[in-house]
Amino acid sequence: MHEVSKTSIVSVCKLGSRTPRPSGLHTFEPPSHFWVDAVEIPAASASTPSDLSRLAPLVDQLRQRFPTDRLLTQPAQLAPYESDGLTAFRVHPGGVVLVQDASEVVTVVRLCHEHGVPFVARGSGTSLSGGSLPVAGGLVIALNRMNRVLDYQPRSQTIVVEPGVVNQQVSRHVAQDGLYYAPDPSSGPVCTIGGNVAFNSGGAHCLKYGMTANHVLGIKAVFPDGELVELGGRSHETAGADLAGMFVGSEGLFGIALEIVLRLLPLPERFHTVLAAYDSLEKAGDAVASVVASGLLPGAMEIMDKLAIEASEQAVHAGYPTGAAAALIVELEGPEEEVAAEIPRLDAIMQASGAYELRVAKSAADRMNIWKGRKGAFSAVGRLSPDYIVQDGVVPRSRLGEALAEVQRLSARYGLRVANVFHAGDGNLHPLILYDGRIEGQLHQAELLAGEILRMCIRLGGSITGEHGVGVEKLEFLPEMYGEAEMELMNRVRQTIDPQELANRGKLLLSASDVGKQSHAPHPLESAGVISRA
Partner 1 sequence: MQHSIPSAELGPRGQAMADAVSSCVHCGFCLPACPTYQVLGEEMDSPRGRIFLMKDVLEDRLPLEQALPYVDRCLGCLGCEPACPSGVQYGDLITSFRAHSERKRSRTFFDRLMRQVVLQTLPYTARFRWAARLGKLASFTSPLLPHRLSNMLAMLPAQLPPSEQLPEVTPAIGPRRARVALLAGCAQQVLAPQINRAAIELLSRNGVEVVVPQAQGCCGALAAHTGADRLAMEAARKNLRAFPGDINAVVTTAAGCGSGMHEYPLWLKGTQEEAQAHALASMTKDVCVFLAELGPVGFAPLADPLRVAYHDACHLAHGQGVREQPRQLLQMIGNLELVEVPDREFCCGSAGTYNLEQPEVATELGERKAAAIVSTEAQAVATGNIGCMVQIENHLADAGRCLPVKHTIEWLADSCLDGHGSE
Partner 2 sequence: METIETTEQLTHFVRNQAQVRVRAGGTKPATSGNANVSLVNLSGVIEYESSEFTITVRAGTPLAEIENLLAEQRQYLPFDPPLARAGATIGGTVATGLSGSGRFRYGGVRDFLLGVRFVTGEGQLVQLGSKVVKNAAGFDFPKLMVGGLGRFGIMTELTLKVFPAPEATRTVVLENDNQSDALETMLQLAASQLDLTCLDLDDTNRIRARVAGSDSALLDRVARLQQFSNIANKVIEGEEELALWQAVGEFQWVPAGYRLVKVALAPEQIPPLISDLTPGALRICAGGHLGWIAWPQERPGEELDRVLAQHCCPGLAITGDWHSPLIGEHQGSAFARRLTLALDPESKFTNPQPVV
Q: How far is the CB of 479 from partner 1 (least distance, A)?
A: 28
CA–CA separation, 30 and 18 (whole Å): 17
Nearer to partner 2, 119 or 247 (CB): 247
CA–CA separation, 269 and 179 (whole Å): 11
* Contact pick of 210, 354, 376, 401 for partner 2 (by CB under 8 A): 210
CA–CA separation, 324 and 52 (whole Å): 54
The binding site for partner 1 (CB under 8 A) comprises: 1-2, 18-20, 22, 38, 72, 74-77, 79-85, 87, 96, 98, 124-126, 142, 144-145, 166, 187, 189-191, 312, 314-316, 376-383, 386-388, 437-438, 534
Report which secondary-structure segment, H or E, holds 258: strand 256-263
Q: How far is the CB of 353 from partner 1 (least distance, A)?
A: 29
- Range 261-290, binding partner 2 (CB under 8 A): 266-269, 289
For residue 336, give Cα distances in angstroms to 181, 268, 271, 339. Answer: 20, 9, 9, 5
Out of partner 2, partner 1, none, which partner does residue 306 contact, by CB within 5 to 8 A per kind? none
Nearer to partner 2, 138 or 334 (CB): 334
Q: In this structure, are strands 216-222 and 326-334 parallel, antiparallel, or unpaired?
A: unpaired
Q: Is 424 in the site for partner 2 (CB under 8 A)?
A: no
Q: Which stretch binds partner 2 (CB under 8 A): 60-68, 316-324, 430-438, 461-469?
A: 461-469
Nearer to partner 2, 29 or 486 (CB): 486
- At residue 500's C-alpha, the angle toward residues 494 and 506, to 5°, is 65
Q: How far is the CB of 175 from partner 2 (least distance, A)?
A: 13
Q: How far is the CB of 214 from partner 1 (least distance, A)?
A: 25
Greatest alpha-carbon span in the chain: 73
Say which DSSP state 24 is in: T
Is 486 in contact with 503 (CB distance < 8 Å)? no
Nearer to partner 1, 115 or 173 (CB): 173
Out of partner 2, partner 1, none, which partner does residue 79 contact, by CB within 5 to 8 A per kind? partner 1
Q: Which stretch binds partner 2 (CB under 8 A): 134-142, 309-317, 341-349, 353-361?
A: 341-349
Compute how many residues bind partner 2; rule: CB under 8 A.
100
Nearer to partner 1, 187 or 200 (CB): 187
Out of partner 1, partner 2, none, which partner does residue 156 contact, by CB within 5 to 8 A per kind? partner 2
* Contact pick of 88, 98, 231, 450 for partner 2 (by CB under 8 A): 231
Q: Is 234 in the site for partner 2 (CB under 8 A)?
A: yes
Cis peptide before 522 (omega within 30 of 0): yes
Is 443 in contact with 24 (CB distance < 8 Å)? yes
Report long-range pairs for 510-517 (Cβ below 8 Å, ≥24 apart): 510/475, 515/491
Q: How far is the CB of 30 from partner 2 (least distance, A)?
A: 32
Residue type, 513: S
* Contact pick of 108, 244, 346, 433 for partner 2 (by CB under 8 A): 244
Q: Is 342 in the site for partner 2 (CB under 8 A)?
A: yes
Q: What are phi and psi of 71, to 5 degrees?
A: -125, 100
Out of partner 1, partner 2, none, which partner does residue 38 contact, by CB within 5 to 8 A per kind? partner 1
Q: How far is the CB of 133 from partner 2 (least distance, A)?
A: 17
Q: Which stretch binds partner 2 (CB under 8 A): 2-10, 110-118, 474-482, 521-529?
A: 474-482
Out of partner 1, partner 2, none, which partner does residue 75 contact, by CB within 5 to 8 A per kind? partner 1
Report how many helices (DSSP H) and strands (DSSP E) the chain contains, helices first.
17, 22
**Helices in 376-523 by DSSP H: which ranges?**
377-380, 400-414, 442-459, 478-481, 484-497
- Range 13-52, binding partner 2 (CB under 8 A): none
In sequence order, the 6+-apart residues with CB closer than 8 A to the CB of 432 are: 307, 308, 378, 381, 388, 389, 390, 391, 418, 419, 420, 421
Nearer to partner 2, 414 or 422 (CB): 422
| Residue closest to 10 by CA, chosen among 108, 124, 134, 113 | 134
Q: Is 296 in the site for partner 2 (CB under 8 A)?
A: yes
* Contact pick of 27, 64, 496, 519 for partner 2 (by CB under 8 A): 496
The partner residues of 192 in beta bridges, in order of sequence, read 166
Q: Is 110 in the site for partner 2 (CB under 8 A)?
A: no
Out of partner 1, partner 2, none, which partner does residue 427 contact, by CB within 5 to 8 A per kind? partner 2
Nearer to partner 1, 383 or 459 (CB): 383
Q: What are phi and psi of 246, to 5 degrees?
A: -70, -30
For residue 269, give Cα distances in angstroms to 58, 273, 333. Answer: 53, 13, 7
Q: How far is the CB of 183 from partner 2 (least distance, A)?
A: 12
Q: In this structure, are strands 256-263 and 216-222 parallel, antiparallel, or unpaired?
A: antiparallel
* Contact pick of 20, 76, 176, 295 for partner 2 (by CB under 8 A): 295
CA–CA separation, 147 and 138 (whole Å): 24
Q: How far is the CB of 241 from partner 2 (least distance, A)?
A: 4
